[in-house]
Structure 1
Amino acid sequence: MSLGDGFDLVEIAKTKLNQRYVFGAVVPKTNPNWNGPWDCAEFVSWCVWQAYGAPMGMRPRNAWKGDAYSGFWFDDAKGEPGAAISWESALNIKGAVLVRRPLNKRIGHVAISLGDGEQTIEARSADRGVGIFKGASKRPWDIGVLIPGVDYATDDTSLTYVQTVRVRAPAGYHALQSPPQKGPDVLAIQTALAKAGYDPGPLDGVFGRLTDAAVITFQIASGLEVDGVVGPRTAEKLGLSTPIAPDAATTAAWEALSAPPAPPTPLLQPTPLGARTLTGFAVNGKDHTALYDDGSRQYIGTDVPYRDDAPRRGLYQDKKLTELRPIGVYRPEDYTAQHGQWAHVIHPTIFAESAGFFGRVNSYDRAAFTFGATQLAAHTPGENLILLFQELLRLKSAKDIFPELSLEDNKVTWTKPSGAKVDLEASKSVTRPNGKRDTQLVEFMAYLNPDPGAVGQQERLAAARLIEWTRVDPAARAAQVTLLVARVKKLIDRVRSHPSFDKKDWPAAIWIADIQYQGRGRLDAIRLALDSPKPVEALSRIGSSYEGRRKTIGESIAKLKASGVLNGFTV
C-alpha cells in the first residue's frame, strides 16, 4: 500500500517557508502545528512524519522522542527503512531527500529535492531560514534517499541505487573528505580562519579535522549554513574570492611546506652528563619508542585518539608506565632537604597527576602537550609548562638538549634554522572548535606538537628530549618539584585569611590545593566547606564526579597521617 507520493512531502515543506532556523534545534515531530525553529535534519524528518507517518533519520526511531540528525539519515539510507540512490538521480525526483554525510561525526546536511535538477527546499542557515534554494547541483551531496512505500514520479530509467559513497567536494568547494584536499587554496582558508580568530590547527595546507571544526565554528558564529563546506558564501565571509586565489605569499608558503625534506640531522648531541644520542624512532603498532646510539630504547608513548572540542590524536603513556621507572619516580624524602615537609604536602597531588613518574608525557588533548610528574600543560600563558621551560633553560644542560631554545629578555625563545626568532611565550586569543574563546600559547603549543591530529616527528622529538633530560639531570627533576611547591603555597594562600581556615589542619590544606590544581571546584565551594562542622569531609566531596581522583587523595592523606611525617606541620 502506498503511503503517498513525493509531491505530498514538498507541499507540506512549503507551508513552512520563511520560518526561523536555529542550529541544533529539536522539533516535536508529532506536532502538526510546529512553526519553528528548525534545523536541517529536524525539518526534513518532521515533514516526512507529517506526510507519511514514517520515522526517518531519527534515533530512537520514535516520532514522539526521536532526535533527527544527518548521520541518522545517511545510516537509514543504506538499508531499511530507506533506500539510497545517487544524489544526481535524487535531484531529478520531486520529494526525494538529499543527504550530505557528516564525515566529522558532527555536521552534515539534509534537504528535499524539488525534482528539477537544481532546486531544494530546506532549513538552511540562521541568515536564510527555511526556503527554496537554487544551485543544488553545484553543492556537495553524498546520496539521495527514497522513502520506502512512497510513489515517486520519475522517468529516470538509469536510476542508480548505491551501497557505498565516497565524499567529494564539487570544484571550487573545500570540505573534509578522504583523501584530504591539499594545496595553497587550503592554506589560504586556514590562514583566513586563523586571522579571524578560529584555530584551524597547523597551517599546513591540508583540510583536516581541525580545519573542518574551525570552519563549522566560524559558520555558526557568522549565521551561515552549518555544513563545514567552504563554498562561495563562507569564502566571502572569510574575505576570500571564489574560486579561491591564493596570494603570492601563501603560494610560496605552500611550496616551502611541500618541498622535499632536508637531509636528517642528529636529533640530540651527546651531553656532558653522559647522555646517549637519539638517532631515530621506532613504531610498533601504536607504541612509539626512541632509539639511541648505544643500542638502547626508550618508550615515549602510545598513539591514541581523543575528542574534546575537536577530534585529536596524540601520545599517552598509561599502559606502560613501568618503562618510565628508570627515569625517576617522585620520593618526598629526596626533596625534604630543600623543601622540608612541603615535599610531603605535594606528594598526594603528584601521585594523583602522574603516579609520580617524572617522565610522563601526554599530547592528546587540547593542551597540545603535557609533561612531568606534575603534568604541566603547554597551552596556559604564564603558568604550567612554560614556567618549567624557563627553569630548565637556566640549567647548564639546556644547550645540549634544546640547543635551538634560549631565554631572551627572560622569555623562552626559539631560533629557527633560518635564524628567525619566535617568542614562545606570546599569548593569543583564539576561538576553539566548540565556539569558546581561550587565550593560549599558540607558538609554544605548535613548537611542541605542530599537528594535534596525528603523532608527528616534532611531537616525538619533544617528548624524547624532555624524557632524556629528566633522566640524566637531577636538576631537571628538581625543577618540577620546586614549581609545584611554589604553586601549592599560592593555592593555599588564596584561603589563608578565611576565618575558618586552620593553618595546622594540613589535610584540609592538601585538599584545598589539589581541588584548585585539578580545577574541580571553585573558591566559593572551598570556603563553604571550611565553614562546615567537618571541613575535611566537606572538602573531600567537592568535585563529586571525580571519584577516582578524590579516592587517591584521601588514601594518600591517610598514609601521611599513619607515617606521622606531617605531625605538627603548619602551612
Structure 2
Amino acid sequence: MATGKDIYQKALTRKGQAYIEGTLAPKDDPNWNGPWDCAELCSWAVYQVANLIYGCTNDHASPAHADAYSGAWKIDAESKGIIIPVQKAAGIPGAMVLRAPSAALGGHIVVSDGNGGTIEAKGKNWGVVQDTLDNRRWDYGILVPGIDYTSPEDVPVAPPDYVIYRYTNPMMVAKKIGEIQQALTGVGFGTKGIDDIFGVNTRNAVIDFQKANGLTVDGEVGKDTAAALGITLP
C-alpha cells in the first residue's frame, strides 16, 4: 500500500522546479519536471504513488488531462476524504494542508513533511520549495483514503501573528482594507471603489496582483502580498 511518506518523498523530488499558476501536470507522467502549481504537485504525487486521481475538477478524467485545483481538494475532502486538524496533519508525512479558496477562487495546498514543514509549489517567485506551516493561515489537514499514514503526536503550528485580510462571510471591514484597496488601485489593480470592505472585487484584484507579481495566488493579503503592496499588517 502507498504511504504518506511515499507522497512526501515523491513531491520532494520536484524541489527547485518552476511554478506557473493554472498549469496542468500529466498525473501519469513520472518524468514530468514542471511547471507546477500547488494543487498539481499534490495530485501528481498522489497519482504517482497510489495510481489514484484525487483533488481534480474531474476525478474520472484521464490522468493525463485531470486538472487539479485547491477547490477540488476541498470538495474531495468533504465528500470522500478524511479531514483532520492542522496540528495533526503537521505531524503526518504526506498529509495535505489546505487554505481553502473563497467563492471558487484562490486557495493554496501543501504537502506536510511530518515535522511542521512543507514541500509546496508556492508561487512563481519561489517555485517548488520547502517551507513551514507556522505563522501562516490554514483551514484543515486532509488524508486521502487508501493511503497508509503514520499517526505520531500532533505538532503544534503557530498561528499568524498578524491579521490576514480575505473574503469571508460576513465580509471583513477595516480601515486597513481601505489602504489595501488604495494600494491595489495605485498599481493598476482596481477594486471598484475604496470602501474598507473586503468583498469579491477586492479579492479578485488581490488575485490578479498576486498572479502579476509571482506571489502565492490565494486571494488573501498576508505578509508576502502586504509587503509587495507596501502595506504593514497589524
What are the residue-to-residue correspondences of 1:175-190 with 2, within 5 Å? 175-190=166-181
Percent identical: 39
Aligned residue runs from structure 1 range 111-260, under 5 A: 111-117=110-116, 119-134=117-132, 136-156=133-153, 171-241=162-232, 243-244=233-234
The answer for the alignment partner of 2:71 in structure 1 is 71
Is residue 19–residue 129 contact of structure 1 (8 Å, CA) maintained in 2? yes
Q: Which of 17, 21, 26 in structure 1 is aligned with 2:15?
A: 17
3-state secondary structure, aligned to 1:79: helix
Q: Distance in 2 between matches of 1:199 and 1:170?
A: 28
Report the 3-state secondary structure (helix = DSSP H, G, I; strand = E; otherwise coil) of the residue aligned with 1:123: strand
Taking the TM superposition and a 5 Å limit, the aligned residue runs for 1:132-531 are: 132-134=130-132, 136-156=133-153, 171-241=162-232, 243-244=233-234
After superposition, the C-alpha distances for 1:513-547 in whole angstroms (9 at most, x for unaligned) are xxxxxxxxxxxxxxxxxxxxxxxxxxxxxxxxxxx
TM-score, normalisation: structure 2? 0.92
Instruction: Give the superposition deviation at 1:169.
Output: 8.2
Q: In the TM superposition, what is the alpha-carbon distance from 1:185 to its structure 2 partner?
A: 1.2
Query: What is the distance in 1 between the residues matched to 2:152 and 2:90?
Result: 13
1:107–1:169 CA distance, 2 compared to 1 (3 A)? farther
User: TM-score, structure 1 length as denominator?
Assistant: 0.39
What is the CA distance between 1:129 and its match in structure 2?
A: 0.1
Q: Tell me how far apart the structure 1 counterparts of residues 87 and 198 of structure 2 sit (CA, whole Å).
A: 25
TM-fit CA distance, 1:51: 1.4
What is residue 104 of structure 2 aligned with on the other side? 105
Q: Deviations over 1:181-232 (max 9, x none)?
A: 2111111111111111211122111111100000110111111111111111
CA drift at 1:156: 3.9
Distance 1:178-1:89 versus aligned 2 partners, 3 A rule: farther
Task: Tell me the alpha carbon deviations over residues 297-332 of structure 1, each in whole angstroms, 9 at most, x when there is no partner.
Answer: xxxxxxxxxxxxxxxxxxxxxxxxxxxxxxxxxxxx
For 1:112 and 1:29, locate their aligned partners in 2 and report how far apart those are by CA, in whole Å: 16
Shift of 1:170: 7.0
Shift of the 89–201 alpha-carbon distance from structure 1 to 2, 3 Å rule, reads farther
| Mapped contact 1:169–1:177 kept (Cα < 8 A) | no
**Alpha-carbon distance in 1 for matches of 2:36, 2:28:** 14
**Bigger Rg, structure 1 or 2:** 1
In the superposition, relative to structure 1, how do residues 171 and 180 fare at CA in structure 2: closer, same or farther (>3 Å)? farther
**1:151 partner SS:** coil
Q: Which gives a bigger RCO, structure 1 or 2 (Cα 8 Å, sep 6+)? A: 2
C-alpha distance 170-209 of structure 1, shift in aligned 2 (>3 A) = farther
Task: Indicate the residue corresponding to 1:44 in structure 2.
Answer: 42
For residues 170 and 210 of structure 1, do their structure 2 counterparts lie closer, same or farther at Cα, with a shift above 3 Å needed?
Answer: farther
**Structure 1 residue aligned with 2:84:** 85
Distance 2:10 2:131 in 1: 16
SS in 2 for 1:88: helix
Q: Tell me, yes or no, if the aligned pair for 1:140 and 1:170 is still in contact at 8 Å.
A: no
Which amino acid is the alignment partner of residue 148 of structure 2?
D
Gaps of 5+ in 1: 158-167, 245-571
**SS at structure 1 position matched to 2:79:** coil
- For 1:171 and 1:237, the matched residues in 2 are separated by 16
Q: Matched residues in 2 for 1:144 and 1:170: separation?
A: 20
- Report the residue type matching 1:192 in the other structure: A
Cα-to-partner distance string for 1:435-481 (whole Å, 9 max, x where unaligned):
xxxxxxxxxxxxxxxxxxxxxxxxxxxxxxxxxxxxxxxxxxxxxxx
1:64 partner letter: A
The match for 1:438 is: none
Aligned counterparts of 1:24 and 1:100: Cα–Cα separation in 2: 17
Whole-angstrom CA distance in 2 between matches of 1:83 and 1:90:
11
Distance 2:101 2:151 in 1: 28
Superimposed CA distance per residue, residues 37-76 of structure 1 (whole angstroms, 9 cap, x where no aligned partner): 1111111100110011111101321323211111110000
May I ask how many residue pairs the two structures share in their alignment?
A: 228
Q: Secondary structure at the match of 1:138?
A: coil
What amino acid sits opposite 2:102 in the alignment? L
Separation (CA, whole Å) in 1 of partners of 2:161 and 2:149: 27
Alpha-carbon offset, residue 141 of structure 1 = 1.6
User: Could you report, residue by residue, the CA deviation over 1:480-529 in whole angstroms, capped at 9, with x for unpaired residues?
Assistant: xxxxxxxxxxxxxxxxxxxxxxxxxxxxxxxxxxxxxxxxxxxxxxxxxx
Alpha-carbon separation, structure 1, partners of 2:95 and 2:50: 13
Query: 1:22·1:39 contact (CA, 8 Å) conserved in 2?
Result: yes
1:4 aligned partner: 2
For each residue in 1:362-411, what CA deviation from the matched residue of structure 2 results, as whole angstroms up to 9, or x when unmatched? Answer: xxxxxxxxxxxxxxxxxxxxxxxxxxxxxxxxxxxxxxxxxxxxxxxxxx
**What secondary structure does 2:183 align onto?**
helix
Alignment check: 8 A CA contact 1:216 1:227 kept: yes
* Structure (1 or 2) with the greater helix fraction: 1
Equivalent residue letter for 1:51:
V
